[in-house]
Amino acid sequence: MVLLARARALPAIGGRRLSTAASSPDGAIGFIGLGQMGHHMAKHLQSKSDAPFIVYDKSAEAVARFRAAAGRQVEAAGSPAELASRASVIVTVLPESAHVREAYTGSGGILEGIRRGALCIDSSTIDTSVSIDVSQQVIAAGAQAVDAPISGGIMGAQAATLTFMVGSQSAGDFERASAHLAKMGKNVVRCGGLGAGQAAKICNNMLLAISMIGTAEAMNLGMRLGLDPAVLASIINTSSGRCWASDTANPVPGVIPAAPSSKGYSGGFKARLMAKDLGLVASAAKDSRTPLLLGALADNIYRHVAQDPGMADQDFGVVYQWLAGGTAKRG
Ligand code: NAD
């Protein structure tokens, strides 16, 4: 059954009331992965919880930045195992499948220190089979695990308006996770069993990649036809072409001041992470024998963008520059 909770707007979930208040039946909270998404998510979770808060990131700089920004004292663990030995809820927000495997099952990983009855919430976007395998190892260790990848970008993480797509073994695990996820997002949706959150996430991101490429092409064409990009964007955004890539993250610099494109394509969703997600889409399509036309083209395009060292770590809207540069050369 699909359960939907809008944490503050719709506080009822599965017949029970969701609490976003500070108190939680869980003890200390551990957070691993304080990058572009994790930093903001952890800040909301920490400030809306009264439990002790422990963090770990491979990057000492990311830990120091978070501790400086946190409103109250935050402990830093020396390894995921140490964090797990002290936390009853652990949230991970890591880049790729290999990082999640390392943090959970590697030497000094979560599984070496995990407490019975602890809850692990993985909000990374990773391969569905890796996600299920890691969750099953957590469950075999006497704990609980859910996959809860996110949508909404860095702006959504900052504003705590993310959507969480959750895969869980039981409705009870989902409810326990939801009490924490609701502090970091607006929509918490149970998509099905373990791995179902990852499946929903890659479908969303395939569509996002296609719509970003489409927006970039439409904007580039319009500008070459002499249209002012702000005027064209305002037409699209009040017409049937409107989408998130056009009205919130428009890839043409200056059209939307808050969009990463207006800040040198910084502070957004990296092109290499989009290429990673489209790789997950391609293998899921192969495994499920699903024909993809536009999804395969988007995969090909973002692989090229991610191979450009100047673009790989920029926001994925940089595909506009890649396309505009390409058409300029061809034109
Ligand atoms: P990021 O690269 O900014 O941050 C990742 C953090 O994880 C870094 O601080 C890094 O030091 C740390 N890290 C890496 N390996 C580690 C390990 N083994 N142990 C501990 N820490 C480790 O990435 P991000 O943009 O925050 O994305 C994180 C996840 O969220 C990805 O799976 C991404 O696909 C997904 N996501 C990102 C966005 C976005 O807009 N950035 C949106 C939705 C989903």
Q: Comparing 257 with 326, which gets the higher pLDDT?
A: 257
Whole-Å CA distances, 84 to 20, 118, 326: 24, 8, 49
User: What letter would DSSP give residue 17?
Assistant: E
Domains of the chain: which residue ranges?
9-193, 200-324
Taking CB atoms and a 6 Å cutoff, what residues make up the pocket around ligand 1?
32-38, 56-59, 62, 93-95, 99, 102-103, 124-125, 150-151, 153-154, 268-269, 273
In this predicted model, what pLDDT tens digit does every residue of 63-96 receive, in sequence order? 999 999 997 789 999 999 999 999 999 999 999 9
Among the CATH numbers 3.40.630.30, 1.20.1260.10, 3.40.50.1970, 1.10.1040.10, which is that of 200-324? Answer: 1.10.1040.10
Whole-Å CA distances, 223 to 208, 276, 319, 321: 22, 30, 16, 13
CATH class of 9-193: alpha beta
Question: Using CA positions, which residue lies closest to atom 4 of ligand 1?
Answer: 35
| Sign of the four-CA dihedral 284, 287, 290, 296 | positive
In this predicted model, what pLDDT tens digit does every residue of 8-49 receive, in sequence order? 333 333 323 333 334 456 789 999 999 999 999 999 999 999
Cα(37)–Cα(68) distance, rounded to whole angstroms?
17
User: At residue 221, what are phi and psi to the nearest 5 degrees?
Assistant: -65, -50
CB 202 within 8 A of CB 292: no
Cα(83)–Cα(55) distance, rounded to whole angstroms?
7
Kind of pairing between the strands at 144-147 and 119-122: parallel
**pTM assigned to the model:** 0.88
Question: Using CA positions, which residue lies closest to atom 39 of ligand 1?
Answer: 269
Cα(18)–Cα(6) distance, rounded to whole angstroms?
9
